[in-house]
Structure 1
Amino acid sequence: MPCLLGIVVGIKDNPASSIKIQGIKRRSYYDILSPASLEELYQNYTTNITHEPGKMVPPRELNILSRRRNRVIVGLLVYQGLRVEEVAALKVPDLQLREGKIMIHAKRRTAARNMTLESFQVYEIMDYLYEVRKQLLPEGIVTDQLFVQRDGGRNFYGVTHMLLKQLRQINGRIKNLDQIRTSVIIRWLKEHDLRKVQYLAGHKYVSSTEAYKQNVLDGLQEAVTRYHPL
């Protein structure tokens, strides 16, 4: 009788078939991006502007400034796995650039945490903070909001909507920005213990992290079944 991971299969009349086990709630995940694909999103997001014939584009200088801001945002999605609402809520005082850290405040769905920045992120954030942000901020507007828009708008959706379109040009598999966060968490689970990932992801309950871990295990089982069928 075939056996997989110590579990006997092939029994027609399984006495436990009607028993429902209460445990981790399964959820449907997005197409998971590999670490290399995540890295490409950041590395291939350029500030260069490609003009398409027949398309109206903002003035070149403003467009470049927006892209330099967006590149910083992409870094926070790819390396810190932030939610969009967390990025939108960031304030200038949340930056601890000397320590290479950034403070993420608690939101309705996530806990507060102090996250480490990659060294190249620190330099790009400094460039944004002291050069780009000043030029994007409309004259007369004073705010401690980290990410600002050239028209002074407060609707961050406009920024993320355009960013999503740009990222899809790099990788056509991108469905939404939550897909990036999910892929980052899956990567963390392969590198760190459960509690560490819970903290990095800002999960209030470890069960939320365990649900992602189950996705990793399901992926491994699928790979075993596909490449080593019994």
Structure 2
Amino acid sequence: MEYKTFLKYIEHLRKGNVKARTLKTYIGNLKIYFDYLVSEHYRLQNIIKDLHIKGVKKSVKKNFLEFEELEDIYYSYPISKGNELARKRNKIIVGLLVYQGLNTRDLQLLEVEHIQLYKGKITIPGTRKSNTRELELKPWQLMEFMEYINAVRPEILEQTDKETEQLLLPMGKSSNLHGVLAKITKELKAINNSFTDIKQLRTSVIISWLQHYSLRKVQYLAGHKYISSTERYVQDDLESLHETINTYHPFS
């Protein structure tokens, strides 16, 4: 069996509505068989050794937002109403959600030392489930962080009588951002009725990154420990395989 013939076999199974998990099992068994043929010198190589079916991977939410929608959420978030200190802090948070794709855990762990204004970057500390990474800040984020670190945050510390290196501070006695993020979530729903939750923002940012960067680059930006975590955000799955087969291996 040649590689082109094998691709035709996959196409035949796909048209027969064979599920991705079943298809992966078929291919796995054939890989073992080809390995055996190579070991017994009946074949020179295993032609399907590097072929993988992604359709069995856990997929992410489909209702993601386009990058233009993400930016609109950021620019539409108002800082002119309510407590000015809280609003400016919240604007910082929305920016980190939209441009750096942070999750709630990342936001909670940030400290002042993680902001490198002179480099225009932010360090996201790693956890048991995520890798440390250094991300670029947008120019307008730098301006906001300069004001926040030098004026807004010290005022929040004074008003709440706190002594901490935590970067993003609630206005009350608690250091947990849960209440802050719950309020931001409610406000963002009013800005964009397609917005559901903060996880959706992170999903949307990662999908947007995948349109511009390599899988490995996005793995780093997202802080994923394993490439398989990043692959979950690839939307095409078997359709992508079908396109590849038709483009590079057209059948007569």
State TM-score, norm by structure 2. 0.73
* Structure 2 match to 1:36: 68
Q: What's the counterpart of residue 158 of structure 1?
A: 179
Q: Secondary structure at the match of 1:103?
A: strand
- Other-structure match for 2:167: 146
Partner of 1:110: helix, strand, or coil? coil
Report what 1:196 is aligned to: 217
Paired amino acid for 1:203:
H
User: How do 1:1-230 and structure 2 match up within 5 A?
Assistant: 7-8=11-12, 19-21=22-24, 24=54, 25-49=57-81, 60=82, 63-137=83-157, 138=159, 140-213=161-234, 215=235, 217=236
CA, structure 1 residues 8+71, in 2 after alignment: closer, same or farther (shift >3 Å)?
Answer: same
Q: Report Cα offsets for 1:120-144 as digits up to 9, x if no partner.
A: 1011011111111122223542111
- Identity over the aligned pairs, expressed in percent? 38
8 A Cα contact 1:81 1:184, kept in partner: yes
**AA matched with 2:24:** I
Gaps spanning 5+ residues in structure 1: where?
A: 50-59, 225-230
- Counterpart CA distance in 2 for 1:115 and 1:124 is 16
1:148 offset after TM fit, Å? 0.9
DSSP-derived class of the 2:129 partner:
coil
Q: Distance in 2 between matches of 1:85 and 1:36?
A: 25
Distance 2:196 2:122 in 1: 27
Counterpart contact for 1:30–1:179, Cα < 8 Å: no
Gaps of 5+ in 2: 1-6, 26-52, 244-252
C-alpha distance in 1 between matches for 2:213 and 2:126:
22
Q: Which has the greater radius of gyration? A: 2
SS of corresponding position for 2:72:
helix
Two-structure CA RMSD over aligned residues (Å): 2.7
Any runs of at least 4 consecutive aligned residues in structure 1 with deviations exceeding 4 A, and if so which? 8-14, 218-221
Offset at residue 10 of structure 1 (A): 9.1
Output the amino acid matched with 1:193: S
Cα pair 1:101 1:114 within 8 Å, conserved? yes
Give the TM-score taking structure 1 as reference length.
0.80
Deviation at 1:21, TM superposition (A): 1.0
